[in-house]
Amino acid sequence: MPAYVLSMMTIHDPETYRKYTDRTPPVVKKYGGKFLTRGEPVTCLEGEEYSGRLVILEFPSKEKVDAWFADPAYQEAVTFRQAASVMHHLLVQEGGENTADPDPKL
């Protein structure tokens, strides 16, 4: 089952951040990942406005996400991201089986 990575970041050094984004696509592809969205405009439907950058990735499995994240080439790219932004990486592990009728108490 697919696994999804949601990346939300606030960028304070766009030039350095670009060194991260230039290196990321080949490593994502290496592990069967694909960008579902990569920095397109975000519209807030409810709550506080979000002005950061949002990226959503899809991978074939959680194991592929783990391998991508641990890849030395990706870890090298991460140094640029960490120098240029504040990031929240979220992993949604393999979609739940009860999406049609989820527990209303949760």
Q: How confident is the model at residue 74 (pLDDT cuts 50, 70, 90)?
A: very high
Residue 55 placed within a domain: yes
3-state DSSP assignment of residue 87: strand
Cα dihedral: 32, 95, 67, 63 (round 10): -110
65: closest CA among 53, 74, 52, 78?
Answer: 74
Residue 87 placed within a domain: yes
- Residue type, position 28, single letter: V
Q: Assign residue 81 the CATH number of its domain.
A: 3.30.70.100
Host domain of residue 83: 3-44+51-92
Residue 99 placed within a domain: no
Residue 102 placed within a domain: no
Residue 103 placed within a domain: no
Count of domains for the chain? 1
Which pLDDT belongs to residue 99? 63
Whether the Cβ atoms of residue 80 and residue 60 lie closer than 8 Å to each other: no
Q: How many alpha carbons lie under 13 Å from residue 84 in its C-beta half-sphere?
A: 17
Q: Please calculate the CA angle 20-23-25 and round it to the nearest 5 degrees.
A: 110
Lowest mean pLDDT among 30-34, 82-86, 95-99: 95-99
Residue 105 placed within a domain: no
pLDDT digit string (tens) for 15-51? Answer: 999 999 999 999 999 999 999 999 999 999 999 999 8
